[in-house]
Structures are given as structure tokens and as C-alpha cells.
Amino acid sequence: MNRVIWTQLLARNEVKRHKTSKKELDAIRAIIVRDLADASVDGVSADRRFATAYNAGLQTSKMAIACAGYRVAGAGHHKISFEAVNLAMGKAAGPYSDYFDRCRRKRNVIDYDDAFVATETEAQEIVVKAKEFVAMVEQWIANVHPSLKP
């Protein structure tokens, strides 16, 4: 079934075939580390911390998708990323992909339409969820793609 869905995504040019490398994943890991550190800085608005932690979640999805042999392309890549990570990892990603997909809408409002959208609680929660997601994906990579682990 997953192969059929990947084929459909390929046909719609929403994903491209891609061979990742440890070097590429390490570069993504550096982005994630930076974003999680930045999202944890006191004194920064809840909106900016929320959007920055959201990006860590998006980049984490990108790592898993790359390990599955694809990269997301084109318009709507955030939404597609949170769908495709489920194809890459299966049910384990579901709670996180659903969470970050819900956050995607709020991040869009924060970056393009309005200010003071995220609460302090939401900003703190997304940092925690992003860290959990990173740990889960790294464990999956270590188990399924050991040559790509950090």
C-alpha cells in the first residue's frame, strides 16, 4: 500500500526519488539542534519560539523521508512532509505528524498573517514535542538505517 501512495506522490511531483547520505542528514541535524536551541531562548516571543520549534519538527520529518529514499518537492511541502513521514516510518510517526500538521496552520498564521498567536504554553509544548520526535526518528534511523545514525 505504501508503495502505491509513494507512486501517486511521485506522479503528482509532490516527492522526488532521493538518495540521502550521512553528510546530508548531519546537516539537517545541525539545523534541528540550532532551531531547538533558538526555540528555548527566554525573552523571545512565543510566536517565534513556536515557529522555530515547528521547523525542527519539519526538518525531522525531512530526515525520515530522506532515509526512505525521497524528498518532498513543490507547493504544499510542509503538509506533504507530515503525510509522507507516516509512509516512511509507519504508525510510530502518526501522533507526531498529526501534531505538527495541526501546528502547521498556526505557524502559517504566525509567519504570514498575524502576531501574538501562540501562547507561552503552546511554545513550550511544541519544543517538548519536537525533542520527542527527534529522539524517536533518531532511534528509528539507528534501527532501520544504522549507517546513517549520528
Helix/strand/coil (H, E, C) string of 38-103? HHCCCCCCHHHHHHHHHHHHHHHHHHHHHHCCEEECCCCHHHHHHHHHHHHHHHHHHHHHHHHHHH
All structural domains of the chain, each given as residue ranges with its CATH number in brackets, are 2-148 (1.20.120)
pTM, two decimals, is 0.95
Residue given cell 504570514 in the structure block: 112
How confident is residue 21, by pLDDT bands cut at 50, 70 and 90? very high
pLDDT category of residue 114 using cuts at 50, 70 and 90:
very high
What percent of the chain is modeled with pLDDT above 90?
95
CB 72 within 8 A of CB 84: yes
Compute the CA torsion angle 25, 34, 53, 78 (nearest 10 deg): -40
DSSP code at position 21? -
Q: Residue 1: which pLDDT band, with cuts at 50, 70 and 90?
A: low
Check if the beta carbon of residue 24 is closer than 8 Å to that of residue 71.
no
pLDDT in tens, 33-88: 999 999 999 999 999 999 999 999 999 999 999 999 999 998 899 999 999 999 99
Q: In angstroms, rounded to a whole number, what is the distance separating the alpha carbons of residues 150 and 134?
A: 12
